Amino acid sequence: MGKYILSLDQGTTSSRAIVFDHQGSIIATAQKEFKQIFPQPGWVEHDAMEIWTSQASVAAEALLKARISGDNVAAIGITNQRETTIVWDRKTGKPIHNAIVWQDRRTAAYCDELKKSGREDFIKNKTGLRIDAYFSATKVKWLLDNIPGARQRAENGELAFGTVDSWLTWNFSNSQLHITDVSNASRTLLFNIHDMKWDEELLSLFNIPASMLPEVKSSSEVYGYSEANLTPYRIPIAGIAGDQQAALFGQLCTAPGMIKNTYGTGCFMVLNTGDKPIPSQNNLLTTVAWQINGKTTYALEGSIFIGGAVVQWLRDGLGIIRHSADVEKLAATVPHSDGVYFVPAFAGLGAPYWNQHARGTMVGLTRGSGAAHVARAALDSIAFQTMDVLKAMERDAGMPITELRVDGGATRNNLLMQFQADLLQIRVVRPVITETTALGAAYLAGLAVGFWDNIDSIAAQWKIDATFDPSMDPQQQSKYCKDWKRAIRAAQAWTEDDDENA
């Protein structure tokens, strides 16, 4: 058997490949950013061919950097940006349109119609999800309704739909595999999380032919093999999970009650709820975490649409920093945001507000406010949004949360992590390996091929890099929280005129 696992982490802004050894240590990594396409306000697309070529090229580059060939790789694990929707021609393998990204809001009006027709509970009871433009079903419907000839081709069985994991496995397997795993399927609005099947009533509601759908598999099994496009060797493709579920697994949050927050383009908090789906009373999502050896684990999730992306906006939109890493230095030049609050609702507000019409709002500006205060408020917004979700989780789970495991790029920012601990008034723990999304996919693939014996044998690999304990005066913390709530109200007030004219 090979000595390494190759993990493919296909994210919203970049494709990454990481080679892990038996100790769960990183041997080599390669990463490539790809183009973000904004055809009009609120629309976000990716070139699906660029997703595939960038992922294939970083996979080859990582193997090269690790100085290994395909025969040294025991298995490939795949993790991916979820909900992003690709429809392609089964014969040619060519997409019929750009991928519609999870952040895209073009179907918001259709979602409003569904809500008005009273479908919210019907959909939530089957899928654990809310009606929102975030999920895949409305995106597939939009493609079928708006791309000339697409609906007819779909009904003829000529088109395939998949989230990014399906698209990658299709290409790596040379069109042999049209599959997804339970964690990705549970994010489509088409999958019944109780009987673990595609749901005929939902397919009928969204008018999507069943022939388009991938076969749903567990998160850890040998699905098939990569065919000669990566290396001359056939490597087992053996683990798939959506990025947030993979991060939960990579953080070894394998027991009920364990929780992690990933700070990526968005922020995603996930709580392991064990073998039963808990319906949320606090605007969170009930979702499938993973399925291993026939046993399904469920989770509660809070999605924050704009997390680290706010830093990219400071860089690309405002030009107040040259590199994303500069934000900590700039923000640290002031002791606090001086009363500036920034609600980065560029793509609407996610959990626990779910206001898809909200827009980015900055309040509390004075003549003395400068770039550093804006940078500080932008960083603070990531921690404030996380706090809102954690409080909702506590209410749903019916228990206090005492420790938050964190991962993702922004966790390297100590200023942010300390502020996070202060706001939450609990310990924040950062592991040595913060690439937990890729690590989770590696673990799932490795377990499937016997590279690791069982979950207990990998649990020992989780090591702490740093802990952040709260040190803020409770009165100060309380004032911050109160002012943040006012800022949220301001962002939502912006949408009220919409409602009056609707």
The answer to whether the annotation marks 308 as part of a ligand binding site is yes
**Do the strands 86-89 and 159-162 form a parallel or antiparallel pair, or are they unpaired?**
antiparallel
Distance, in Å, from the CA atom of 239 to the CA atom of 291, rounded to the nearest integer, reads 11
Assess whether pLDDT exceeds 80 at residue 404.
yes
Q: Which two tokens stand for residue 146?
A: 């708006």
The answer to whether the annotation marks 151 as part of a ligand binding site is no
How confident is the model over 161-188, as pLDDT tens digits? 999 999 999 999 999 999 999 999 999 9
Judge whether 4-244 and 252-431+463-496 match in fold: yes
The answer to whether the annotation marks 360 as part of a ligand binding site is no
0.95 cut: is pTM over it? Answer: no
Distance, in Å, from the CA atom of 18 to the CA atom of 88, rounded to the nearest integer, reads 27
How confident is the model over 356-370, as pLDDT tens digits? 788 899 999 999 999
For the chain, which residues make up each domain, given as ranges? Answer: 4-244, 252-431+463-496
Structural contact between residues 132 and 111, judged by C-beta atoms closer than 8 angstroms: yes
Question: Based on the number of CB atoms within 10 Å of its own CB, is 369 exposed (0-12), middle (13-18) or buried (19 or more)?
Answer: middle
The answer to whether the annotation marks 13 as part of a ligand binding site is yes
The answer to whether the annotation marks 257 as part of a ligand binding site is no
DSSP 470: -
Q: Which residues of 56-79 are buried (b: 16+ CB within 10 A; e: fewer)?
A: bebbbbbbeebebebebbbbbbbb
pLDDT at 322: 86
The one-letter code for the residue type at 342 is F
Q: Which two tokens stand for residue 54?
A: 């960038």
Distance, in Å, from the CA atom of 422 to the CA atom of 415, rounded to the nearest integer, reads 11
Structural contact between residues 7 and 17, judged by C-beta atoms closer than 8 angstroms: yes
Superfamily of domain 4-244: ATPase, nucleotide binding domain (3.30.420.40)
Distance, in Å, from the CA atom of 45 to the CA atom of 49, rounded to the nearest integer, reads 12
Binned at pLDDT 50, 70 and 90, residue 229 comes out as low
The answer to whether the annotation marks 312 as part of a ligand binding site is yes
The answer to whether the annotation marks 157 as part of a ligand binding site is no
The answer to whether the annotation marks 158 as part of a ligand binding site is no
Assess whether pLDDT exceeds 70 at residue 501.
no
pLDDT at 502: 47
* CATH for the stretch 252-431+463-496: 3.30.420.40
Which has the closest alpha carbon to 240: 87, 448, 25, 93?
448
Q: Is 65 helix (H, G, I), strand (E, B) or coil?
A: helix
Assess whether pLDDT exceeds 80 at residue 13.
yes
